Amino acid sequence: MNTQLRLLFYTFTAMFVALIGVLAYWQVYARESLANNPHNGLQTQREVQVPRGLITASDGTVLARSVPSGENSYDRVYPEGAVYAPVVGYWSTRYGATGIEIGMNTELSGRGEPATLDELINQLSGRPQGGNNVELTLDPELQRLAYERLAASATGRGSAVAIDPQTGEILALVSHPSYDPNNIDETFPELQRAENSPLLNRATQGLYIPGSVFKVITAAAALEAGVSPSRSFVDTGSYTAGGFRVTNYGGASYGAQDFAHALALSINTIFAQIAVEEVGAQALAQKALEFGFGDGYEDFVLPVAPSTLGEPPSEWDAALLASNGFGQGTVQTNTFEMALVAATIANGGTMMQPQLVNEVRSQDGIILDRATPQTRNRVMPSEQARQLTSMMELVMTEGTAQSGQLPGVEIAGKTGTAETGSGPPHSWFIAFAPADDPTIAVAVLVENGGDGESAALPIARDMIRTHLEDRNEDQG
Amino acid sequence: MAQRATLPMLLALATVALGFAILLAVQQETSPPLIYGGAYAGMMIGVYGFVRLWLPRSDALLIPVVTLLTGTGLIMIYRLTYGVEGVEDLAISQVIWILTGSVFLLLTIVFLRDYHRLMQYKYLLALLAIGLIMLTFTPFGYEVNGARLWVQIGPVNFQPSEFARIGLIIFFAAYLAEKRDLMAATSRTVLGVQIPSPKYFGPVLVVWAASLGLLVFEKDLGSSLLFFAVPLLMLYVATGRAAYVGIGSVLFAIGCVISYHLFAHVRVRVAAWLDPWADPDLMGFQILQSLFNIADGGIVGTGLGEGFSQTIPEVHTDFIFSAIAAELGLLGASAILLTFLIFVYRGMKIALLSGDDFSKLLAGGLTVMFALQTLVIIGGVTKAIPLTGITLPFVSYGGSSVVGNFILTGLLLVISEKAGRRLAGEEVR
């Protein structure tokens, strides 16, 4: 009988050890994902007892802070309100959390692994431990300007994103209409029902037909396929592919034009022809994927709806290839993605990882984490990026965006007027400046705002101007 | 046999005192009436002293292990229920249950020092055990949370299955000790498996099936599992035939499938185990709250009094281990697991060192039940297996469970005394 007893004991021992393994799984491996689970109410219970960290803009402007609201409890206050709500998000004991509040929750709540000796002592002694402060890359002046201009736009619905092309830092990320996160507990049900979706971050979560701004991706694919900017095409006012007749915006006809002017004047027929005859579905789709289409940017701190090609390129017929070639087919994107496209061309064809968090500091100011620029991928050779930049400069000097010129600055840009099938078209504009050494790339979209030149372009132009003036002041 | 365990005893008491000191000093909780703490510590020291005097060759290390487990339970119960309306006096009730349990332990070692007498009463004990379970079907029985597990006779409430278990283990140990040679011998083959004559199997099967059937109708999943597995493993120990475990496992699987289709509460438990996220606010609520709290503890825990384990329904009984894992962390929870393993180790060692079949089977059976109960409930609250509502021995709040486990410890002590004497050459029988 002793053999069996021993065997049983060994089995039980193994099971006890296995249980320690199960515990280690929950308490070490799965700890953070459970802590940040939306159903986990412990975080909000602890939250009201312990001050969360500050969220600040790049200049120290406070975007979110915890203020005492009684003995051992704190309220979350958002001094800048709706301007930053789509980025910063809200923190509600009832409705959970969004934005940076949930994306950086581990740091803000101070429940990450202890990083300083004080934190370790606090954690070991079980003393409440304040959260770490999170500084964002956002430029408050640019953010507020874009917010106010979008609010004043034709429909008041739209988004704008500005990026430093050389580092990937997000300088502005605006969505309008927005909401006041300060009293979210009372207003949430109403906001959720509201027709103009104020809770939707249009810049990262919206998906729109890009229209002609997509032509820069087609152009990049064409340059790779060997179409030179000076190559001549003839526009007769229409181009037929697979039984589908492509025409130009406003029914215009441009005659003989080189490839560079086809982009500058945004000639649909020539881009349809280039997509069908020079590039092909696979190469066009491939270029869009390299530019970030289909990517949810999992490492980015906010959730991003992946821009989409609609159907896979193997399913595209000639008609769909032609219309995707000038952004009116099944492709859909948002200003976050298009700002990255502009930034990539600006940065010589190299896409940097988009970054929104500049640094994380402990409450006593010790830097715990600091963002460093990271390359995401090389989308196009620098020579082709330079050619495309010149073509986009032509858009500003001789093309559709001449009203966007600024004195003394060379800007590269592209307008977009996306037909939606119902109502006025979406107004798009993407640009970067200065063209020879870009420090800012922007994408602006005004929903149903009319053509690209009238609604989106002035907002983007003013963002660029403000940014460059600030830089000159800083350097002077 | 470890005969002296004074240092572990002092360490266990100091640990418990430290735990209360932390709650009182750091958390600034109001002190529970000190008289209860004094009574608890005094009783545990008294039990230890009496065991040392009365059973000098016994394995006294069991007492500090029991002290550490009951003490940890007391700290957690106090911490989880203090100032919570409706349950604020649970820690004091638990002290009273521990004192009652200690008295039962002392009665066990005084009156059952010659525990071999129990062999003569095996059928009586089996009948008594089944009768106890059947009490829940009489007007004395009542239902809590959809399971009819409780009996009230006069002022006394108790869970008969906690005591019936011990009676049945004594029956199986006595019966198997007498018939093990006959049962190991094979007489016929069914489906390629050698089966002994039903003549010897009959009584075991009847008692087994009767107790199991009753518990299934009580909807007591945890006890059903124990009542099924413990006799099976005892049969394996007695006969040395792994085939029984194989057949048992097949029967177990069939039983699981049948009860899954037959009982809604089984389906709910399985669904909550497989995918608690499907219904996180209702069906999966309890297990998810348990996991959130366990994860919240991390490696070193939130610290005593710093967790939020009150969010788990029934945290002071079935889910007390989740609260321990939350506040004491992976390190503290592992320490408690290892303390349980020490108890299992001592129990198995007592069985190994015993000289006769009845002692081996009784000590082995009691230890197997203790180990399985611990594994099943901790596995349940950590989502390693589906949850079945049983208590964590010595730690969970609950009178019947505490008293039952003290009786179990008393039996292990008298068996170890006999084994200790045999080793020392003082064989009395």
A131 plus A146 within the same structural domain: no
Minimum-distance CB partner of B384 among A22, A27, A35:
A22
How far is CA B161 from each of CA A405, B134, B400, rounded to the nearest angstrom? 87, 10, 9
Higher pLDDT, A461 or B200: A461
CATH number for the domain harbouring residue A106: 3.90.1310.10
Asked if residue A79 belongs to a domain, the reply is: yes
Reading the block at residue B30, the tokens are 């109001």
A126 plus A269 within the same structural domain: no
A331 plus A418 within the same structural domain: yes
Per CB-CB distance under 8 Å, the chain B contacts of A27 are 294-295, 297-299, 325, 329-330, 333
Asked if residue A52 belongs to a domain, the reply is: yes
Q: What's the pLDDT score for residue B227? A: 86
Q: What's the pLDDT score for residue B169? A: 95
A126 plus A197 within the same structural domain: no
The continuous run of DSSP H or E covering B399 comes out as: helix B399-423
How many whole angstroms separate alpha carbon B83 and alpha carbon B96? 19
A108 plus A191 within the same structural domain: no
Q: Does A15 contact B348 at a Cβ distance shorter than 8 Å?
A: no
Contact pairs from chain A to chain B, CB under 8 Å: 123
Chain B: closest CA distance from residue A28 (Å): 6
How many whole angstroms separate alpha carbon A229 and alpha carbon A120? 61
Q: Does B351 contact A5 at a Cβ distance shorter than 8 Å?
A: yes
A434 plus A347 within the same structural domain: yes
A147 plus A282 within the same structural domain: yes
Mean pLDDT of B235-252: 87
Q: What's the pLDDT score for residue A367? A: 86
| Residue-wise pLDDT tens digits, B27-82 | 666 777 788 889 999 999 999 999 999 999 999 999 999 999 999 999 999 989 87
- B25 burial (CB, 10 Å; 0-12 / 13-18 / 19+) is exposed
Minimum-distance CB partner of B375 among A15, A35, A126:
A15
Reading the block at residue B317, the tokens are 């009984």
- A256 burial (CB, 10 Å; 0-12 / 13-18 / 19+) is exposed
Between CA B148 and CA B155, with CA B150 as vertex, the angle to 5 degrees is 150
What phi and psi values does residue A95 have, to the nearest 5 degrees?
Answer: -110, 15
A147 plus A255 within the same structural domain: yes
Given a cut of 50, is residue B429 above it in pLDDT?
no
Strands A55-56 vs A133-136: parallel, antiparallel or unpaired: parallel
CA within 13 Å, CB half, B258: 8
* pLDDT mean across residues, chain B: 88
A7, A11, A13, A16, best to mutate vs chain B, most B CBs in 10 Å: A16
Chain B: closest CA distance from residue A55 (Å): 24
Asked if residue A15 belongs to a domain, the reply is: no
Given a cut of 60, is residue A128 above it in pLDDT?
no
Q: How far from the centroid of its chain's Cα atoms is residue A95's Cα?
A: 24
Could you tell me which residues of chain A have a Cβ less than 8 Å from any Cβ in chain B? 1-6, 8-9, 12-13, 15-16, 18-20, 22-24, 26-28, 30-31, 34-35, 37, 39-42, 45-46, 123-127
Q: How far from the centroid of its chain's Cα atoms is residue B260's Cα?
A: 25
Asked if residue A29 belongs to a domain, the reply is: no
Per CB-CB distance under 8 Å, the chain A contacts of B379 are 19, 22
Highest mean pLDDT among A42-56, A280-294, B218-232: A280-294
Contact by Cβ (8 Å): B406, B101: yes
**Is-catalytic flag, A212?**
yes
A119 plus A192 within the same structural domain: no
Per CB-CB distance under 8 Å, the chain A contacts of B295 are 26-27, 30-31, 34-35
- A420 burial (CB, 10 Å; 0-12 / 13-18 / 19+) is middle
Contact by Cβ (8 Å): A444, A471: no
Q: What's the pLDDT score for residue A447? A: 95
Residues above pLDDT 90, as percent of chain A: 75
Q: What's the pLDDT score for residue B114? A: 92
Q: What is the dihedral sign for C-alpha B80, B86, B87, B88?
A: positive
| Residue-wise pLDDT tens digits, B76-86 | 999 898 777 77
Q: In which band, very low, low, confident or very high, does the pLDDT at A117 lie, cut at 50, 70 and 90?
A: low
- The DSSP annotation for A197-209 comes to -TTS-HHHH--B-
Question: Which amino acid is it at B412?
Answer: L
| Residue-wise pLDDT tens digits, B372-403 | 999 999 999 999 999 888 899 999 998 899 99
Residue position matching structure tokens 């090609």: A309
Q: In which band, very low, low, confident or very high, does the pLDDT at A1 lie, cut at 50, 70 and 90?
A: confident
Mean pLDDT of A200-213: 96
Reading the block at residue B350, the tokens are 């007592």
How many whole angstroms separate alpha carbon A50 and alpha carbon A129? 7
A187 plus A120 within the same structural domain: no
Q: What's the pLDDT score for residue A114? A: 63
| Residue-wise pLDDT tens digits, B142-186 | 877 667 778 887 777 888 888 999 999 999 999 999 888 777 666
Minimum-distance CB partner of B237 among A1, A41, A46:
A1
Per CB-CB distance under 8 Å, the chain A contacts of B236 are 4
- Residue at which a domain ends, from A136, A153, A177: A136
Reading the block at residue B273, the tokens are 């185990």
Residues above pLDDT 70, as percent of chain B: 93
Per CB-CB distance under 8 Å, the chain A contacts of B337 are 16, 19-20, 23
Question: Which amino acid is it at A20?
Answer: I
A130 plus A145 within the same structural domain: no
How many whole angstroms separate alpha carbon B107 and alpha carbon A81? 71
Q: Does B292 contact A1 at a Cβ distance shorter than 8 Å?
A: no
Given a cut of 50, is residue B187 above it in pLDDT?
yes
Residue position matching structure tokens 């402060």: A133
Listed in order, strand segments (DSSP E) in A170-319 are: 170-176, 232-235, 238-241, 244-247, 255-258
Question: Which amino acid is it at B413?
Answer: L
CATH number for the domain harbouring residue A337: 3.40.710.10
Residues above pLDDT 90, as percent of chain B: 53
Q: In which band, very low, low, confident or very high, does the pLDDT at B427 lie, cut at 50, 70 and 90?
A: low
Question: Which amino acid is it at B312?
Answer: I
- Residue at which a domain ends, from A114, A136, A158: A136
A105 plus A167 within the same structural domain: no
How many whole angstroms separate alpha carbon A13 and alpha carbon B344? 9
Is the peptide bond preceding residue A177 cis, with omega within 30 degrees of 0? yes
| Residue-wise pLDDT tens digits, B291-337 | 999 999 999 998 888 888 888 888 888 999 999 999 999 999 999 99
Tally of domains in chain A: 2
Nearest CA-CA partner of A5 in B366, B83, B210: B366
Given a cut of 70, is residue A434 above it in pLDDT?
yes
Per CB-CB distance under 8 Å, the chain A contacts of B294 are 23, 26-27
Nearest CA-CA partner of A97 in A81, A108, A82, A83: A108
Expressed as residue numbers, the domain containing A403 is: 141-357+373-475
How many whole angstroms separate alpha carbon B208 and alpha carbon A474? 86
| Residue-wise pLDDT tens digits, A65-83 | 988 876 667 888 999 999 9
- Residue at which a domain ends, from A78, A112, A136: A136
Q: What's the pLDDT score for residue B351? A: 96
Higher pLDDT, A432 or A37: A432
Higher pLDDT, A116 or B7: B7
Q: In which band, very low, low, confident or very high, does the pLDDT at A116 lie, cut at 50, 70 and 90?
A: low
